Amino acid sequence: MKPPSVPTRHRRSRPPRVGGAQPRATTSRALSFALIAQDHLLSGAVQFLSNVGLPRTSIAERLRTLADTLEAGRSVPTVHSDEYDLLAKICSVVHDWTRSPEYTDNNGEPRALAVKGRRSLAVLIRKRLSRPPTSRVIRWMTARGVVRRRADGRYVLLQRAVLVGKRDPVYLEWAATVATEHLQTACENWQARDREARQLDRMARVFNLPAHEVASFRLFAKNRTQSWLEEIDNWLEDHDAPKGRRRGVEAGVHVYAYVRSPRKAPVG
């Protein structure tokens, strides 16, 4: 199945903008573009780390350590924090809560759950997390607005996806992980000879959106993306076979939006 293109009202006669899907260039030409990509990635990573508060000396020291590792011919390990692993597991808990017949009502909506019991929040959590204690997981979910305790002691699910945001440390690790996944997809697309085997990598944008339309754009994009992702998620769930005998792979779609100030033209 071909990946869907992004419909727009303007420039209908033009082909869709596609990133990372051109035929492979010659080795020398590819190397020159790879060096440009290297500068973009390294400068972007340094800027990201600096913007979130890491001292420049710390960034420089880490880059020197990585350089020594590369020159020695060793691989650079990737290690996730316990907090990130907890986030990933809680995402799975929320997923089960919104989809399992045991935890949804006749309309498919998540039920309010007691802390203990046969079909309780504790049982739901333990399906995905053997540790830490259930009380800590519930506090984590409450603090981030995922659940709320009612007057009768039951917990209700406030959002169908775990969203972490402002000044939440684990968001930085999550963002970095997603960025590396996008880079991996781009590399695979660049190497793929078969166009139909390339993963979805599309963009819809304009360069002069009026500033007063930004709030409307954000709301429109969130609403459309929510329904689209639920459709994708339903398809994935219908075809998921975790206990099957055939080889399984991880598959998914990630979407993000952006608003940037226009770059000023150089003077002189």
Q: pLDDT per residue over 92-128, tens digit each?
A: 999 999 999 999 999 999 999 999 999 999 999 999 9
Domain total for the chain?
Answer: 2
Domain presence at residue 232? yes
Examine the domain organization and report whether 153 and 86 are in the same domain: yes
Q: What is the mean pLDDT of residues 10-19?
A: 41
Domain presence at residue 153? yes
Last residue of a domain, one of 157, 192, 220: 157
Structural domain including 231 reads 203-240+253-260
The pLDDT of residue 161 = 86
The pLDDT of residue 21 = 44
Q: Residue 12: pLDDT above 50?
A: no
Evaluate if pTM is beyond 0.85: no
Domain presence at residue 149? yes
CA dihedral 120, 124, 127, 128 (to 10 degrees): -150
User: pLDDT higher for 77 or 143?
Assistant: 143
Examine the domain organization and report whether 142 and 208 are in the same domain: no
CATH of the domain at 125: 1.10.10
Q: How confident is the model at residue 211 (pLDDT cuts 50, 70, 90)?
A: very high
Quick: pLDDT tens for 15-55. 344 444 444 445 788 889 999 999 999 999 999 999 999 99
Domain presence at residue 186? no
Answer whether 213's CB lies under 8 Å from 259's CB: no
Domain presence at residue 222? yes
Domain presence at residue 170? no
The pLDDT of residue 34 = 92
CA distances (Å), origin 254, targets 56, 77, 97, 139:
31, 24, 21, 27
